[in-house]
Structure 1
Amino acid sequence: MKYPLILGFGIVALDVAVWRLRIPPNELVRLAIRLALFSALNWVLFSSGLSPFTQAPPESAAELHWLGQVLEIIWWLMGARLLTLSLDTLLLPKAWRRQRLFSDVFGAVVFLAAVVAALGFVLELPVRGLVATSGALAIVLGLAIQSTLSDVFAGIVLNTTEPYSVGDWVVIDDVEGKVVEMNWRATHLLTGEGNTLIVPNAVASKAKISNNSRPANVHGLSLVLEIDPEARPKTVLDALGRALTGCNVILDTPAPFARMKRTTLNSVQYEVVAFVDDMNKKLAVSNELFDLCYRHLAASDVTLRALGVAGPATTAPDAKEALLKRVTLFESLTADEVTRLAKRLSRHEYQADQQVLAPDTVPDSLSIVHSGVLSVRLSELAGDREIARIGPGEAFGEAGLLAGLAMHVSIATLTPSVLYQLGKDDMTSFLKDHPEVAKQMCQLLAYRQDRLGKLTTAIPSVQEKGQSVFQWLFEKVRHLHSLHNGS
């Protein structure tokens, strides 16, 4: 064969181009091409009298001899690399390939063996003495990097037992984060604050690990609340149970629960535990659940106790006034206006599974939830669908009471509930005395136009008449409650 060295180095250059340029993109096809190139290199070497297991034959020119030696050494390194890639691509599970630990360690062992073989076969160096010397050197080096070696072997244990994998949400030593990388030295976690936390494998292998991604569709969340010790435990637990019922995002199985956790000098700690089907929901559901607990506890006259601080002595506020102050619709009223309006509220009690509002009706009163949980359902072609749950401090029927808009939804109680209602006559009398309140309420209703469009009669296209939504609503309120034009 003429010019075997040129042909051999050309094959090597082509292999390097396929490797560096990642051509073609498919990994299996690229591996097949590189194996074909390695087979071609074998044919070139052995057909030209070159063998990676012996020294290159002496040539008339010393440069050709050394080029042959270099090509044989490249054969060993190229073979080591392809062996590592073949094992990584064809045999290792995808989870292990993402973590890169086994492929890196195995590649290092194979390359070390290839270097020793090249030194022994191609250069014919005394490998036995080199191995003995390297053994002593390895002992010294091992003592110097024993912590790093500990991370390597701990990483092998973690990859073998697989307590977590890339993409899982885990808690390691009370630090929660998403596993974004696992290598021979450490595990990289992306925390909730957006920071990268690096946990050495030796530390992770000894730590208590909580994997929030297993099982895949169940993720727990826990809230700890400090409650006034004078509050009766049954009252607190019932209120927390209603708060869990009021959150329709949490799973029914495993069942959520509330329990008394422990007592302190100034309070009693209660824990609320629930489960969601998506890790990304935990933050939003935790916030919603805490708000529900606060409202249901307030509805039961139970107050949260500041951590480690004795509660101040306070006088009990009027229940109706306290309820009105928690309603968004009346947050712009003054204290005197709240007091006057509270006197017009009437109390109504409902049992569980009792309908409060039928669909396609115009409410003649504004209902404010004092305690309990109510379900809002929308009738569709496929059947009724629950779209929301209502709890303490929330109101419904304001669109019908203020503007005469019909509600498209049905509302029924899920638990025994207490509602305070404000009738149309009482609202009319109040608005005549406080016409500015009507404008404030219409502004709020106009702001909630999207919700009105879904739950009540759709607002017509008032832009064609040159009116804003607020003007249209205010005209409806003024007409329905017989307010003077000057108002």
Structure 2
Amino acid sequence: MAYLLDPLFLGACVVLCDVFAWRLIPPAHMRHRQLARLAIFVLLTIVLVHGGMAPLNAAPFPGQPIRHFIAQALGIIWWLLGARVLSIMLGTLFLPRAWQGERLFQDVFGALIFVAAAVAAVAYVLELPVTGLLATSGALAIIVGLAVQSTLGDVFSGLVLNATQPYHPGDLVSIDGIDGRVLEINWRATHLLSAQGNLVVIPNSTTARARITNFSRPSELHGVSVTIEVTPEARPQRVLDALDRAIKGCRVALHKPEPSVVVKRMSANAVEYEMTCYVASMADKPAAANQLFDLAHRHLASAGIDLRPLAVPYNNIGRTDRRVRLLSMVNIFQALDEVELSQLAGRMSRHEYAAGQPVVASTDVTDYLLLVDTGVLSVTGLQNGENKEIVRLGPGDAFGESGVLAGIPMQVAIGTVTNAALYRLDKDDLTPVLRARPEVGSEMCRLLSQHKESSDALSQIHVIPDVKPMGLLQWLQAKMRALHEVGPKDQHREITS
């Protein structure tokens, strides 16, 4: 059992412990792995020094080749293990925290220490002259440097990028006109994942000279800008007012910083306006841009501003009545012809509201239809026990289709965000049309049952117990007949009982 106390055996056991510890401790517990390696290095140092195999001296046992070789191997392992421990400790203590997570800095820093440790192991453990080795290495380094100067340029550019940190892995960036998410920054290049799912590799030397836009910083604020060209015949102030109302209707836009609308350029052919707002997430930018274009189109049309080239003359012949156009945009009225739409339009009343004024309370029975002519309105209701904004309404939007057709309350509140003008169509105004053409009412119910927003609201309505099970369409038709007294009277009494 004397071999158990042999320093060579003990040293080999300590090295195996280091291997097993590094394998068994999960990478997620990096601090534990580093402490284990430091403890093993200290233990290996004690074993070698007490066994007469100090790494600063030549390996012992010159007359015993096998023991001499093992002693040399343990001495070299001590130097390399010490280099690893030293690189970890110096990196943790002296490198900036932001650099510690960068692979490139860790690799370069560790490589320098390992080269120094290898030279020391050759000089002390193997007792070989290093002067000639260093001279040869210097000449070799010059030759290799000339041969791979472009690669070295990428490496040093990578060091600059890691030092200045214009982006991190996971950031959305634009480098030299190429957009993508940063996957990795290594010795040679930056790896991006493009929007098409392709891997784009950009050399670090190219990145260092390119214009870099980081869309992920600051992480809590992202700007969205869209450009609208309007005929110069429209007075800029009217256009600015319409676009200001449009940008206030964008639900995903943040209130702070405040959105803005400015005139960018004016020429004989068009006036260019820029709408800018801010969103909290990169994922909201496409939705915000789409909403801004849609709202700009609707609010400009509401203000009587046409989006047409200057070369196209203004044509007022055959233009549809404003009220008829609003009605035709409502889902349930697609079943009516132009004559019937004109009859309904003549019965609508116009109402104007100031900003911040309530329009509909949550307790109101909304057996009427509201159509937004101008302005922005906010619809709020209870969601998960909290009163939250559900949607914002703008020109062309309608509210209360299910109420005016079937008398179904929506249980939400509506208030104005800006000055607004609305048209109102009461239930009694729709009744003559439904009585004259009952098939139109059935078609309206079918369109309403297919309308997603109305279906979501209807899902909160419970059918009364004494009504036999029926589909949503049949239930709507029955409610419509009862409300407008269309069809046999016995059927009205059955539904309303």
Change (3 A) 1:304 1:51: farther
Counterparts of 1:26 and 1:219 in 2: how far apart (Å)? 35
1:482 match: 485
Aligned residues: 485
Match of 2:440 in 1: 437
Decide whether the 8 Å contact of 1:237 with 1:259 is kept in 2.
Answer: yes
2:174 to 167, 171, 176: 171
Q: How does 1:30-41 map to 2 (within 5 A)?
A: 30-41=33-44
User: 1:197 maps to what in 2?
Assistant: 200
Contact 1:405 1:456 in 2 (8 A): no
The residue that corresponds to 1:235 in the other structure is 238
- For residues 338-374 of structure 1, the C-alpha deviation after alignment (integer angstroms, 9 at most, x for no partner) is 4554444443333333332233122343111122111
CA distance in 1, matches of 2:449, 2:381: 22
Q: CA deviation at 1:272?
A: 0.9
Asked if the contact 1:225/1:271 (under 8 Å) is kept, the reply is yes
Q: Does the alignment pair 1:138 with 2:141?
A: yes
- Aligned-residue offset at 1:264: 6.2
Structure 1 alignment gaps of length 5 or more: none
Q: Which stretch shows the higher mean deviation, 240-249 or 438-447?
A: 438-447
Partner Cα separation in structure 2 for residue 424 and residue 172 of structure 1: 59
Match of 1:225 among 212, 222, 228: 228
Could you report, residue by residue, the CA deviation over 1:38-89 in whole angstroms, capped at 9, with x for unpaired residues? 1221122222221322331244432222222222112111111222233345
Give the drift of 1:228: 3.2
- C-alpha distance in 2, partners of 1:125/1:380? 79
The alignment status of 1:187 with 2:190, answered yes or no, reads yes
CA contact (8 A) 1:462 1:472 kept: no
**CA distance in 1: counterparts of 2:391 and 2:212, whole angstroms:** 36
| Structure 1: distance between partners of 2:196 and 2:142 | 42
Given that 1:261 and 1:269 are in contact with CA atoms closer than 8 Å, whether structure 2 keeps it comes out as: yes
Alignment of 1:225-304 (within 5 A): 225-263=228-266, 266-304=269-307
Same amino acid, percent of matched pairs: 47
Q: Give unmatched runs, 5+ long, in structure 2.
A: 492-497
* Higher mean C-alpha deviation, range 174-183 or range 45-54: 174-183
| 2:367/2:408 contact within 8 Å kept | no
Secondary structure at the aligned position of 1:465 is classed as coil
Equivalent residues of 2:172, 2:181 under 8 A apart:
yes
Which whole-Å CA distance do the structure 2 matches of 1:374 and 1:130 have between them?
A: 80
The one-letter amino acid paired with 1:410 is A
With the length of structure 1 as denominator, give the TM-score of the two structures: 0.88
Q: How does 1:80-479 map to 2 (within 5 A)?
A: 80-89=83-92, 91-263=94-266, 266-304=269-307, 317-318=319-320, 319-334=322-337, 338-339=341-342, 341-378=344-381, 385-447=388-450, 458-460=461-463, 465-479=468-482
SS in 2 for 1:274: strand
Q: Which residue does the alignment assign to 1:11?
A: 14
TM (norm. structure 2) is 0.87
Q: Secondary structure at the match of 1:467?
A: coil
Provide, for residues 275-312 of structure 1, a one-character-per-residue CA deviation record: whole Å limited to 9, x for no partner.
Answer: 01222222222222222122212222334458xx9658
CA distance in 1: counterparts of 2:140 and 2:330, whole angstroms: 77
Change (3 A) 1:53 1:269: same
Pair 1:455–1:223, CA change in 2 (3 A): farther
Secondary structure of 1:352 counterpart: coil
What is the rounded CA distance, in whole Å, between the counterparts of 1:87 and 1:335 in structure 2?
Answer: 81
